[in-house]
Structure 1
C-alpha cells in the first residue's frame, strides 16, 4: 500500500499541474518530488502523468486515484494542519518587475505565501523606473532586467533570460533559406518588426549581438507588453525577439517558429534588487529566498 506521504505528493502534482509547482507548494526540491512520484508509480505499476514542457497531464489511472484519495487526504490535513503549518508571516512586501516575468514566473512562485498571511503589493513597469522607486523607499524588492548602478541598491543575479528571434510559420516560408544561413540580417531586412518600445530594446540588442548592427527593418507594431508582441507575431504581423520562457509554449504549439539559430544564444541576466541597510524584514527575506530557490528550477528563461 502506498504511504500517505507519496499520496500527498501525488495530489499536489495532480492539482498543481507540474512537478516544479508541486515542489514549491510543498517546500521540497523538484528532484525530491520526482523521486516520490517514481516510487508511487512503481508501487502502483502504472504511469500516472504524461510529462511535457508545459507540465504534466494526468492519465486515466491518476484521475481515478485522485477521486478516491483527495477527500481523505484533505480531511487529514485539516486534523494535522495546526501542528505542521509553516510559521505565519506578517506585513507587506512591495515588489516591482516587468509584467511578463512577474505574471509567468514570479507570482506563481510566491502565491503560496499568501496562505501564511503575507501581503504582496506588485508594481509592474520598466526596470529603470522601478529601481528609482526602490532607491527612494517606495518598493522593497525589484526583479530587474538591468544591473542596478545606484549605490543604495544591492543586487544579486537571479536567472538568465535567453532570447529567440521568432516569426509565424507563414512568415518563415517567405525567407530565402540559403540567404538566411549566409547573410541572415539581409535575408530578414524586408520583414516588419513587432517591438516592445520605440527604441527596439530587445530587438536592437539581438541584432547588435548577432549581426553587428542595429536593425534596419520597418516597424509594424509597437506594444508595451511582450505577450501582445507574441500574439501579433503569431498572427503574422511581423517578426520579433522574445524571451524563451514566453515564446516556448507558442513554439511547441507551432504558432511561431525560431527563425535564427545562433551558436550561443543571446542572454540577459535578471537581478534581484533590494535596498542596502534596510532593517531586517523576515517577510522580505522569505520572499527573496523563495525566488532564489524557484530560479534554480526555472533554468534559463
Structure 2
C-alpha cells in the first residue's frame, strides 16, 4: 500500500481502488499535534465512528467498505473506504454555545454570520441548531477560519452548499437524539463530506470525542462550564500553561493523559452500551 497522506490523527493509504484509513493515538488541539499520545484513542475513534455510521446510515451514505479487510497490525483502528473527493469545507453544527462559538457570540452576537438572541451564556442551548462552517486548513498551514453560508455558496456552489447544510443539520439532529437517550448532550460537531459516484457521502470520522463536544445531561447547567467528555478537556488543560498555541505543543502529564482517555472510554461506553475492552 502507498501512503497518500498523513494528517493530524490519521494516515491514508492507497490499496487498489480503495483507501485504508488508519487512526493513530495522536491528539491535536488548536491545529497542533501534541507530542504525547492517548492510549487506545485510535481504536476508540474508529469503533465509535463505525457505530455512528451504522446508526445514521438511513440519513446519509458513508464511505465505509469494510472494518475487517485491513492489515492485521492495524486491526481495530483501520477501515477500508471508498475514495471520496472531499469537499473543502468543514461542516460544523452547534446546538449549544461553547468554544469558539461562544467567543464569536460574545464579540459579534452571531456565529458565522448567523445572529443569535441576546443574553445567552456559556453552555446555553440555542433556539435551534445552526450551521457554522469553516475552511479546512492543511496540517501546519494555520487555523481553520469561519465562513458565512454565502461564502460556502461561492466556494462550492449553491446546490452543494444547500446539501452540505442539510446533511450536517440532519446528522446533528439524529445524533443529538441518540446521544440524549444515553444521558449525553451533543453540544456541537463537525463532519467531513465528499463525493463518490456523484453522491455526497460522510467520510473520516463521525461524532467522536475528537470531532464533537459531549456533556453529561445530568451535569449540564447553562452559565457554568460543563464537564467535557471530549477533547475540550485537553484544550482547557493547555490554557492553564503559557503555551502560545503554536508548534511545538506541550508534553501531556500522565494524569492528564489518563483523564483524557477515561473521557473517551466513558463516551464510547455510554453511547454504545458496550464495555471498552
Which one has a bigger Cα radius of gyration?
A: 1
Identify whether the pair has TM-score above 0.5, normalized to the shorter chain. no
TM-score computed with the length of structure 2 as normaliser: 0.26
Name the one with the larger helix percent. Answer: 1
TM-score computed with the length of structure 1 as normaliser: 0.25
